[in-house]
Amino acid sequence: QEEKGRGEQFMSRFARVYSPAVLALGVLVALVGGLATDDWSKWLERAATVLVAAAPCALVIAIPISYVAAIGNASRKGILIKGGIYLEELAQMRVLAVDKTGTITQGKPAVVTVEALNGHSDDQLLSIAAAVEQRSEHPLAHAVLAHAHGAGLAIPTATEFQALTGAGAVATVDGREVMVVSPSFA
């Protein structure tokens, strides 16, 4: 379900009060003027003028229509926006940083899945990788550690840690040299 933006929410609340108020004003103009002057046609015309001039239709529909148009246009260009509230947040942005694929993320890397090869279990692989990453300051290292801690894994001690600039890290874990590196380094 689409989430309404603050502007849409405001206009919905506004219309709930404004529409009955305009109708009451129109009736009041017709009744007071008609009763005071006994010229009902003149005051009914003025009441109709008040109703037409103050009709909230254009105000109430303007924001949702513009949001639907903007979201539809973005969608045709491959950009998915969940609703008006997110469109409003986009309008407040001053800077947008994306990775080389153009993906917009939260800026908090996270391990989504672990797939071990060569007979190791996923938990073994994650535990050993976390051991290497314990001393790294790289954001991806923090994601590996957070995932290992979240899984409740025991993380062995790594020695001889060395950061490989732009590539990953290497350390000795349980007497074996272990490298946690980017695919381009391997």
How far is residue 4 CA from its own chain's centroid? Answer: 13
What the block records as the tokens of 163 is 């950061």
Q: Which of 38, 39, 99, 122 is an active site residue?
A: 99
* Residues paired with residue 163 on neighbouring β-strands, in sequence order: 169
Which of 34, 90, 98, 44 has the alpha carbon at shortest distance from 67?
A: 90
122 is a catalytic site residue = no
Q: How open is the CA angle 167-171-176, to the nearest 5 degrees?
A: 125
The whole-angstrom separation of Cα 141 and Cα 152 is: 17
Distance from C-alpha of 113 to C-alpha of 127, rounded to nearest angstrom = 14
Q: Which residues does the annotation mark as catalytic?
A: 99
